[in-house]
C-alpha cells in the first residue's frame, strides 16, 4: 500500500513539474514572433474602370486610388479618393452630364487568423465598411413635360445643379502579394445613399464614386494593383 502511495505522490509531483515546463515552451513559441503595431502602408490604383468604361460605351468613367495602413495585421484603416463622371443621352433626347471628385474613409478587418506561432500571411481576406461623399454639379436638359388635358408640351432644363451626396458601403475583398511588395486583389461593394431628397428635388442619374443612382442603392467592383511601403 505504501508503494502505491509513493507512486501516486511521485506521479503528482512529476505532472506538476512537467505542465509548467510545457506551458513555458508554448509561450516561448507564441512569443517568438513579436507583435508589431504598424506594418506598412499600401498604395493602390483601381484598374476596373477601364473595363466598365468600355462596357458603358463611355457613358460613365471613373479614376480612383487609395492608401491603406496595416495595424497588427488585423485592422486596415483606408482612405480612397477619385474623380468620376457621366454623359448620357436617353432615347427621348434627355441629356444628363456630370463630373466631380469623391472620397471614402473606412476600416477593414482581416478575417484570416494566423496559426499559433506562425508568421502572419501577406495574403489577406478583408471585410469592412466605408462612408463615401461627393460634391459635384450636374445638368439635365431637354426634359419634356406633356399636359394631357391642354395637350401642351413644356421643356425643362436644369443647367447647373450643385449637390452633395453621402452614402455608406459594406465591402469585402482580398489582397494577394504576387511579387515582393506588389499586391493585386478585388473588392465588392454594396452601396446605399444616406438622406432623403426634398419634395420636387431632381435626383442625379449618376453620383461620382457611387455610380448610377436609380434606386438609392448600387453594387460596385474594384480590381486593384498596389505597392506596400
Measured in whole angstroms, the distance separating CA 32 from the mean position of its chain's CA atoms is 33
Question: HEC string of 103-137?
Answer: EEEEEEEECCCCCCCCCCCCCEEEEEEEEEEEEEE
Q: Closest Cα to residue 103, out of 187, 193, 204, 209?
A: 209
| Closest to 63 in 3D by CA, of 98, 97, 102 | 102
- CA distances to 12, 107, 157, 164, 176 from 224, rounded to whole Å, are 59, 17, 39, 27, 10
- Its pTM stands at 0.79
User: Among candidates 135, 59, 58, which has minimal Cα distance to 90?
Assistant: 59
DSSP 1: -
16 falls in which pLDDT band (50, 70, 90)?
very low
The most distant pair of C-alpha atoms in the chain lies apart, rounded to whole Å, by 116
Rounded Cα–Cα distance for residues 84 and 48 (Å): 13
pLDDT (tens digit per residue) in 164-204: 999 999 999 999 999 999 999 999 999 999 987 665 567 89
Among 23-32, 80-89, 92-101, 119-128, the minimum mean pLDDT is found in 23-32
Amino acid at each position: 500500500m505504501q508503494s502505491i502511495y509513493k507512486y501516486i505522490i511521485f506521479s503528482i509531483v512529476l505532472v506538476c513539474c512537467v505542465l509548467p515546463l510545457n506551458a513555458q515552451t508554448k509561450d516561448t513559441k507564441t512569443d517568438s514572433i513579436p507583435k508589431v503595431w504598424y506594418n506598412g502602408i499600401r498604395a493602390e490604383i483601381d484598374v476596373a474602370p477601364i473595363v466598365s468604361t468600355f462596357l458603358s460605351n463611355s457613358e460613365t468613367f471613373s479614376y480612383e486610388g487609395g492608401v491603406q495602413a496595416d495595424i497588427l495585421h488585423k485592422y486596415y484603416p483606408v482612405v480612397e479618393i477619385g474623380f468620376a463622371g457621366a454623359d448620357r443621352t436617353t432615347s427621348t433626347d434627355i441629356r444628363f452630364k456630370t463630373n466631380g471628385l469623391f472620397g471614402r474613409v473606412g476600416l477593414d478587418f482581416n478575417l484570416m487568423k494566423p496559426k499559433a506561432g506562425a508568421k502572419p500571411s501577406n495574403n489577406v481576406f478583408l471585410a469592412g465598411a466605408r462612408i463615401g461623399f461627393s460634391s459635384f454639379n450636374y445638368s439635365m436638359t431637354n426634359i419634356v413635360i406633356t399636359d394631357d388635358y391642354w395637350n401642351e408640351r413644356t421643356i425643362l432644363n436644369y443647367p447647373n445643379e450643385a449637390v452633395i451626396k453621402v452614402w455608406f458601403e459594406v465591402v469585402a475583398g482580398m489582397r494577394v502579394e504576387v511579387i515582393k511588395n506588389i499586391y493585386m486583389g478585388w473588392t465588392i461593394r454594396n452601396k446605399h445613399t444616406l438622406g432623403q431628397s426634398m419634395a420636387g428635388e431632381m435626383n442625379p442619374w449618376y453620383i461620382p464614386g457611387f455610380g448610377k443612382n436609380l434606386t438609392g442603392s448600387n453594387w460596385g467592383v474594384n480590381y486593384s494593383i498596389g505597392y506596400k511601403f
